[in-house]
Amino acid sequence: MAISLKAMEYFTTALRHGNIAKAAADLNIAASAVSAAIDQVETAFDLTLVTRQRSRGIQATASGLVVARKCERLLEDYRSVLVEGTDLKQSLSGTLRVGYYAPIAPAFLPKILTSFVPDAADVDLHLDECDNDSAQDGLLNGTYDVILFASDGARPTVDFDILAAAPPYCLLPASHRLAGHHSVTMEEIAKEPLVVLNRPFAATYYRSLFEAHTPGAHIAAYANSTEMVRSLVGAGHGCAILNMRPMTQVSYGGARVIERAIADPLPPLTLAVGYTKSRPRQLVQHFVNACIDHFAQPGPDRCIFE
Protein backbone atom coordinates (compact mmCIF):
# COMPACT_ATOMS: atom_id res chain seq x y z
CA MET A 1 0.00 0.00 0.00
CA ALA A 2 1.44 3.37 -1.04
CA ILE A 3 1.85 6.16 1.50
CA SER A 4 1.12 9.69 0.32
CA LEU A 5 3.40 12.60 1.13
CA LYS A 6 0.44 14.20 2.87
CA ALA A 7 0.03 11.17 5.14
CA MET A 8 3.75 11.29 5.95
CA GLU A 9 3.47 14.97 6.85
CA TYR A 10 0.43 14.40 9.08
CA PHE A 11 2.12 11.39 10.72
CA THR A 12 5.42 13.16 11.50
CA THR A 13 3.62 16.31 12.69
CA ALA A 14 1.51 14.25 15.09
CA LEU A 15 4.60 12.58 16.55
CA ARG A 16 6.40 15.90 16.85
CA HIS A 17 3.51 17.35 18.88
CA GLY A 18 2.74 14.12 20.72
CA ASN A 19 -0.93 15.01 20.35
CA ILE A 20 -3.38 14.52 17.46
CA ALA A 21 -5.48 17.60 18.27
CA LYS A 22 -2.42 19.86 18.43
CA ALA A 23 -1.12 18.46 15.17
CA ALA A 24 -4.50 19.07 13.52
CA ALA A 25 -4.50 22.68 14.76
CA ASP A 26 -0.95 23.16 13.44
CA LEU A 27 -1.90 21.71 10.04
CA ASN A 28 -5.30 23.47 10.03
CA ILE A 29 -7.14 20.22 9.31
CA ALA A 30 -9.56 17.96 11.15
CA ALA A 31 -8.19 15.68 13.86
CA SER A 32 -9.83 12.74 12.08
CA ALA A 33 -7.56 13.37 9.05
CA VAL A 34 -4.47 13.14 11.26
CA SER A 35 -5.74 9.96 12.91
CA ALA A 36 -6.51 8.46 9.48
CA ALA A 37 -2.99 9.29 8.28
CA ILE A 38 -1.47 7.49 11.28
CA ASP A 39 -3.67 4.45 10.51
CA GLN A 40 -2.56 4.57 6.84
CA VAL A 41 1.14 4.57 7.73
CA GLU A 42 0.71 1.77 10.28
CA THR A 43 -1.25 -0.31 7.78
CA ALA A 44 1.39 0.20 5.09
CA PHE A 45 4.13 -1.15 7.36
CA ASP A 46 1.88 -3.64 9.21
CA LEU A 47 3.40 -2.34 12.46
CA THR A 48 2.20 -0.53 15.54
CA LEU A 49 3.98 2.80 15.26
CA VAL A 50 2.06 4.89 17.78
CA THR A 51 0.76 4.26 21.28
CA ARG A 52 -2.45 6.19 21.91
CA GLN A 53 -3.15 7.31 25.47
CA ARG A 54 -6.40 9.11 26.03
CA SER A 55 -5.13 11.51 28.70
CA ARG A 56 -1.50 11.83 27.58
CA GLY A 57 -1.70 12.10 23.82
CA ILE A 58 0.35 9.81 21.59
CA GLN A 59 3.85 8.41 21.75
CA ALA A 60 5.95 6.76 19.05
CA THR A 61 7.09 3.17 19.49
CA ALA A 62 10.69 2.27 18.65
CA SER A 63 9.55 1.29 15.14
CA GLY A 64 7.56 4.51 14.93
CA LEU A 65 10.69 6.58 15.61
CA VAL A 66 12.56 4.83 12.80
CA VAL A 67 9.70 5.27 10.33
CA ALA A 68 9.26 8.94 11.34
CA ARG A 69 12.94 9.67 10.68
CA LYS A 70 12.70 8.07 7.24
CA CYS A 71 9.53 10.01 6.46
CA GLU A 72 11.18 13.26 7.59
CA ARG A 73 14.09 12.57 5.25
CA LEU A 74 11.75 11.92 2.32
CA LEU A 75 9.77 15.07 3.09
CA GLU A 76 12.95 17.11 3.34
CA ASP A 77 14.16 15.74 -0.02
CA TYR A 78 10.79 16.59 -1.51
CA ARG A 79 10.91 20.13 -0.16
CA SER A 80 14.49 20.49 -1.39
CA VAL A 81 13.35 19.62 -4.91
CA LEU A 82 10.66 22.29 -4.70
CA VAL A 83 13.11 24.97 -3.60
CA GLU A 84 16.00 23.89 -5.83
CA GLY A 85 17.99 26.88 -6.99
CA THR A 86 17.25 28.97 -3.89
CA ASP A 87 19.93 30.10 -1.51
CA LEU A 88 21.61 27.26 0.40
CA LYS A 89 20.81 28.78 3.77
CA GLN A 90 17.10 28.51 3.08
CA SER A 91 17.42 24.71 2.85
CA LEU A 92 18.87 24.52 6.36
CA SER A 93 15.61 23.76 8.10
CA GLY A 94 13.94 21.04 10.09
CA THR A 95 14.71 19.23 13.33
CA LEU A 96 18.24 18.35 14.37
CA ARG A 97 18.57 15.87 17.24
CA VAL A 98 22.05 15.72 18.75
CA GLY A 99 23.14 13.23 21.38
CA TYR A 100 26.45 14.07 22.99
CA TYR A 101 28.84 12.18 25.17
CA ALA A 102 31.44 14.88 25.60
CA PRO A 103 31.49 15.85 29.27
CA ILE A 104 32.28 19.49 28.47
CA ALA A 105 30.24 19.81 25.25
CA PRO A 106 28.49 22.94 26.61
CA ALA A 107 31.86 24.70 26.23
CA PHE A 108 32.00 24.24 22.44
CA LEU A 109 28.68 22.92 21.09
CA PRO A 110 26.74 26.24 21.25
CA LYS A 111 29.52 27.96 19.30
CA ILE A 112 29.43 25.23 16.62
CA LEU A 113 25.66 25.55 16.30
CA THR A 114 25.92 29.35 16.00
CA SER A 115 28.47 29.01 13.21
CA PHE A 116 26.18 27.19 10.79
CA VAL A 117 22.57 27.96 11.75
CA PRO A 118 21.46 31.26 10.17
CA ASP A 119 19.47 33.60 12.41
CA ALA A 120 16.40 33.30 10.19
CA ALA A 121 16.62 29.51 9.68
CA ASP A 122 13.70 27.35 10.77
CA VAL A 123 15.78 24.88 12.77
CA ASP A 124 14.47 23.04 15.81
CA LEU A 125 17.38 21.84 17.99
CA HIS A 126 17.14 18.94 20.47
CA LEU A 127 20.34 18.39 22.50
CA ASP A 128 20.61 15.39 24.85
CA GLU A 129 23.52 14.56 27.16
CA CYS A 130 24.09 10.81 27.37
CA ASP A 131 26.80 8.22 27.87
CA ASN A 132 28.89 6.74 25.07
CA ASP A 133 26.74 3.62 24.65
CA SER A 134 23.36 5.34 24.74
CA ALA A 135 24.59 7.93 22.23
CA GLN A 136 25.40 5.15 19.77
CA ASP A 137 22.15 3.34 20.55
CA GLY A 138 20.28 6.56 19.82
CA LEU A 139 22.02 7.03 16.48
CA LEU A 140 21.33 3.45 15.41
CA ASN A 141 17.66 3.42 16.47
CA GLY A 142 16.86 6.84 15.01
CA THR A 143 16.54 8.84 18.22
CA TYR A 144 19.48 11.06 17.18
CA ASP A 145 20.45 12.44 13.79
CA VAL A 146 24.05 12.94 14.86
CA ILE A 147 26.16 12.22 17.95
CA LEU A 148 29.34 13.47 19.58
CA PHE A 149 31.09 10.56 21.30
CA ALA A 150 34.40 8.87 22.08
CA SER A 151 35.17 6.78 19.02
CA ASP A 152 37.63 4.64 21.01
CA GLY A 153 34.51 2.70 22.01
CA ALA A 154 32.80 2.85 18.59
CA ARG A 155 30.65 -0.02 17.35
CA PRO A 156 31.37 -1.45 13.88
CA THR A 157 27.97 -0.28 12.58
CA VAL A 158 28.47 3.38 13.56
CA ASP A 159 29.84 5.74 10.90
CA PHE A 160 31.90 8.65 12.19
CA ASP A 161 34.49 11.32 11.45
CA ILE A 162 37.25 11.98 13.98
CA LEU A 163 37.31 15.53 15.34
CA ALA A 164 40.20 15.59 17.82
CA ALA A 165 42.47 13.48 20.00
CA ALA A 166 42.33 14.66 23.61
CA PRO A 167 45.36 13.65 25.71
CA PRO A 168 44.84 13.21 29.45
CA TYR A 169 45.95 15.94 31.84
CA CYS A 170 46.08 16.35 35.61
CA LEU A 171 43.63 18.69 37.32
CA LEU A 172 44.83 20.26 40.59
CA PRO A 173 43.66 22.84 43.11
CA ALA A 174 45.32 26.17 42.30
CA SER A 175 47.10 26.09 45.68
CA HIS A 176 48.45 22.54 45.29
CA ARG A 177 52.20 22.05 45.53
CA LEU A 178 52.29 20.41 42.07
CA ALA A 179 50.49 23.38 40.48
CA GLY A 180 53.83 25.15 40.20
CA HIS A 181 55.27 22.35 38.03
CA HIS A 182 55.21 22.54 34.24
CA SER A 183 54.19 18.87 34.12
CA VAL A 184 53.59 16.01 36.55
CA THR A 185 54.24 12.28 36.42
CA MET A 186 51.85 9.44 37.14
CA GLU A 187 54.09 8.50 40.06
CA GLU A 188 53.53 11.95 41.58
CA ILE A 189 49.80 11.73 40.91
CA ALA A 190 49.66 8.31 42.61
CA LYS A 191 50.78 9.88 45.88
CA GLU A 192 47.70 12.12 45.93
CA PRO A 193 44.06 11.21 46.66
CA LEU A 194 42.21 10.92 43.35
CA VAL A 195 38.80 12.07 42.22
CA VAL A 196 37.60 9.85 39.35
CA LEU A 197 35.02 10.61 36.63
CA ASN A 198 32.77 7.58 37.00
CA ARG A 199 30.76 7.38 33.79
CA PRO A 200 30.33 4.45 31.38
CA PHE A 201 33.37 4.07 29.12
CA ALA A 202 35.23 6.92 30.88
CA ALA A 203 35.54 4.89 34.09
CA THR A 204 37.06 1.97 32.17
CA TYR A 205 39.52 4.28 30.42
CA TYR A 206 40.71 5.96 33.64
CA ARG A 207 40.87 2.63 35.47
CA SER A 208 43.23 1.33 32.76
CA LEU A 209 45.51 4.35 33.26
CA PHE A 210 45.64 3.81 37.02
CA GLU A 211 46.18 0.05 36.77
CA ALA A 212 49.02 0.47 34.26
CA HIS A 213 50.84 3.34 35.96
CA THR A 214 49.54 3.86 39.51
CA PRO A 215 48.25 0.49 40.82
CA GLY A 216 48.45 1.70 44.42
CA ALA A 217 46.58 4.96 43.88
CA HIS A 218 44.04 5.99 46.52
CA ILE A 219 40.60 6.84 45.12
CA ALA A 220 39.08 9.47 47.39
CA ALA A 221 35.84 10.05 45.45
CA TYR A 222 33.91 8.99 42.37
CA ALA A 223 31.64 11.48 40.58
CA ASN A 224 29.55 11.00 37.45
CA SER A 225 29.85 14.56 36.11
CA THR A 226 32.90 16.51 35.04
CA GLU A 227 31.79 19.61 36.91
CA MET A 228 31.45 17.66 40.15
CA VAL A 229 34.96 16.29 39.62
CA ARG A 230 36.25 19.83 39.08
CA SER A 231 34.39 21.15 42.14
CA LEU A 232 35.74 18.35 44.36
CA VAL A 233 39.27 19.03 43.13
CA GLY A 234 38.83 22.76 43.68
CA ALA A 235 37.64 22.12 47.22
CA GLY A 236 40.80 20.13 47.97
CA HIS A 237 39.44 16.58 47.95
CA GLY A 238 42.19 15.39 45.61
CA CYS A 239 43.45 15.69 42.07
CA ALA A 240 41.95 14.18 38.91
CA ILE A 241 42.82 13.04 35.41
CA LEU A 242 40.58 14.40 32.63
CA ASN A 243 40.83 14.77 28.85
CA MET A 244 38.90 17.84 27.74
CA ARG A 245 38.74 21.15 29.56
CA PRO A 246 36.16 23.93 29.67
CA MET A 247 36.90 27.57 28.91
CA THR A 248 37.21 28.49 32.57
CA GLN A 249 39.54 27.57 35.43
CA VAL A 250 36.86 28.24 38.04
CA SER A 251 34.62 25.43 39.31
CA TYR A 252 30.92 25.74 40.10
CA GLY A 253 31.97 26.11 43.71
CA GLY A 254 34.03 29.19 42.86
CA ALA A 255 37.43 27.59 43.47
CA ARG A 256 40.25 27.93 40.96
CA VAL A 257 41.69 24.77 39.42
CA ILE A 258 44.84 24.28 37.33
CA GLU A 259 45.57 21.88 34.45
CA ARG A 260 49.03 20.35 34.15
CA ALA A 261 50.41 18.08 31.43
CA ILE A 262 51.26 14.49 32.34
CA ALA A 263 54.85 13.60 31.44
CA ASP A 264 54.19 9.88 30.97
CA PRO A 265 53.08 8.70 27.49
CA LEU A 266 49.37 7.94 27.87
CA PRO A 267 46.70 7.07 25.27
CA PRO A 268 44.31 9.94 24.40
CA LEU A 269 40.56 9.79 24.03
CA THR A 270 39.27 10.50 20.53
CA LEU A 271 36.29 12.80 20.07
CA ALA A 272 34.25 12.00 16.97
CA VAL A 273 31.01 12.99 15.27
CA GLY A 274 28.81 10.03 14.35
CA TYR A 275 26.08 10.10 11.70
CA THR A 276 24.66 8.06 8.84
CA LYS A 277 26.99 8.81 5.95
CA SER A 278 24.67 7.38 3.33
CA ARG A 279 22.71 10.36 1.98
CA PRO A 280 22.65 12.46 5.19
CA ARG A 281 20.16 15.30 5.37
CA GLN A 282 21.45 18.77 4.46
CA LEU A 283 21.11 19.91 8.06
CA VAL A 284 23.07 16.94 9.40
CA GLN A 285 25.88 17.33 6.87
CA HIS A 286 26.24 21.03 7.60
CA PHE A 287 26.41 20.31 11.32
CA VAL A 288 29.11 17.69 10.71
CA ASN A 289 31.08 20.12 8.54
CA ALA A 290 30.80 22.80 11.24
CA CYS A 291 32.15 20.37 13.85
CA ILE A 292 35.10 19.44 11.63
CA ASP A 293 35.86 23.09 10.87
CA HIS A 294 35.70 24.03 14.57
CA PHE A 295 38.17 21.39 15.71
CA ALA A 296 40.48 22.00 12.76
CA GLN A 297 41.25 25.48 14.11
CA PRO A 298 44.04 25.77 16.71
CA GLY A 299 43.43 27.55 19.97
CA PRO A 300 41.61 27.12 23.30
CA ASP A 301 38.16 26.89 21.67
CA ARG A 302 38.96 23.25 20.85
CA CYS A 303 38.93 22.54 24.61
CA ILE A 304 41.95 20.26 24.20
CA PHE A 305 44.85 20.55 26.67
CA GLU A 306 48.02 20.37 24.58
Q: What is the pLDDT of residue 119?
A: 63
Do 5-73 and 90-165+270-302 come out as alike in CATH topology?
A: no
Which residues fall within 8 angstroms of residue 174, CB to CB, at 6 or more apart? 234, 249, 255, 256, 257, 258
Task: Supply the pTM of this predicted model.
Answer: 0.70
Q: What is the pLDDT of residue 127?
A: 96
In the chain, % of residues over pLDDT 90: 54
DSSP 232-279: HHHTTS-BEEESB--S-SB-TTS-BEEEEEESS--PPEEEEEEE--SS
Burial of residue 284 (number of CB atoms within 10 Å: 0-12, 13-18, 19+): buried
Q: What is the average per-residue pLDDT within 236-263?
A: 94
Q: What is the pLDDT of residue 90?
A: 44
Distance CA 196, CA 248 (A): 20
Question: Mean pLDDT for the chain?
Answer: 89
Residue ranges per structural domain of the chain: 5-73, 90-165+270-302, 168-267
Q: What is the pLDDT of residue 148?
A: 97
Distance CA 239, CA 169 (A): 11
pLDDT tens by residue, 114-161? 887 766 567 889 999 999 999 999 999 999 999 999 999 899 999 999
Q: What is the pLDDT of residue 92?
A: 67
pLDDT tens by residue, 206-218? 888 888 877 778 8
> Smallest Cα–Cα separation from 270: which of 154, 124, 108, 128?
154
Please give the CATH architecture assigned to the domain spanning 90-165+270-302.
3-Layer(aba) Sandwich (3.40)
pLDDT tens by residue, 61-101? 889 899 998 898 888 888 877 765 444 344 567 789 999 99
Pairing of strands 57-60, 50-53: antiparallel
Q: What is the pLDDT of residue 283?
A: 87
Phi–psi pair at 198, nearest 5 degrees: -105, 75
pLDDT tens by residue, 152-199? 989 999 999 999 999 999 999 999 999 999 999 999 998 999 999 998
Q: What is the pLDDT of residue 291?
A: 96
DSSP state of 225: S
Tell me the CATH number of domain 5-73, given options 3.40.640.10, 3.30.460.40, 1.10.10.10, 3.20.20.70.
Answer: 1.10.10.10
pLDDT of 236 > 70? The answer is yes
Sign, CA dihedral 158-146-284-116, equals negative
Phi–psi pair at 146, nearest 5 degrees: -155, 150
Which residues fall within 8 angstroms of residue 248, CB to CB, at 6 or more apart? none
pLDDT of 231 > 50? The answer is yes
CA 186 to chain centre: 31
The CATH topology of domain 168-267 is D-Maltodextrin-Binding Protein; domain 2 (3.40.190)
- 99 near 126, Cβ under 8 Å? no
